[in-house]
Structure 1
Amino acid sequence: MLTSVSFAQEQKGFEVISPAEYQEQIRSEQIHLIDVRTPEEFAESHIEGAKNINFHSNDFLAQFSQLEREKPVYLYCKSGNRSGKAAKELADMGFTKIVDLKGGFLAWKEFVKE
């Protein structure tokens, strides 16, 4: 029997959270906010304050190796596929807190609509 309900999904070394939780957390913490989409996707639109590190670039992991591993990393991509793969890579690199946006930027855009 479950004693509590959580919207976060625990994965190996990272968690996947709803756009509402994501929005709250990226406002309240000193974090790395990383968009792992292509530069073209990033240029079209992105979450304010995000840095673009293209998942498909040859130096993807090298770019992350320059970030503080103790600082939380919040990832997103278009739908959650690339950022989920990136999260697994970062967990293997020793990042201590990794958070992925459930549903990616598509879910974010729907959430922030008024």
Structure 2
Amino acid sequence: MPASEVSTAWPRADAVLLDVRTEQEYHAGHVLGSLHINMMGAGFQQRLEKLDKNKEYYVLCRSGNRSSAAASLMIRKGFTKVTNLRGGIVKWQGELK
């Protein structure tokens, strides 16, 4: 799903926006209320395991490549509602903090 579509209807109380960018990228600008877990950081998979697998997740990175890989991993780990946001933060049209 394109990031621009989700950004116009965000925030949503029934879903989690998971930002998998690096610390530096995240602190340069992120969506308020997003959950940050650095995909390239140590312990990424362990932190995923602590999340509720039945919640709905929208996964975001800079352009959509890392978030696609993270979303695929989440599905393999048993998450049931995972959507990769194509275009990433570059295409996000909402406000950033």
TM-score, normalised relative to structure 2: 0.87
CA deviation string 1:68-103 (max 9, x = no partner): 000011110000010000011000000000011110
Query: Which of residues 1, 19, 33 in structure 2 aligns to 1:35?
Result: 19
Contact 2:16/2:55 (<8 A) preserved? yes
Gaps of 5+ in 1: 1-16
Cα shift at 1:25: 5.2
TM-score, normalised relative to structure 1: 0.75
> Aligned residue pairs: how many?
95
Gaps of 5+ in 2: none
Q: Which residue does 2:54 correspond to in 1?
A: 70
| Higher relative contact order structure (alpha carbons within 8 Å, sequence separation ≥ 6) | 2
**Percent sequence identity over matched residues?**
33
Contact 2:7/2:94 (<8 A) preserved? no
From the two aligned structures, give the one with the greater helix fraction: 1
- The whole-number CA distance in structure 1 between the counterparts of 2:72 and 2:90 is 21
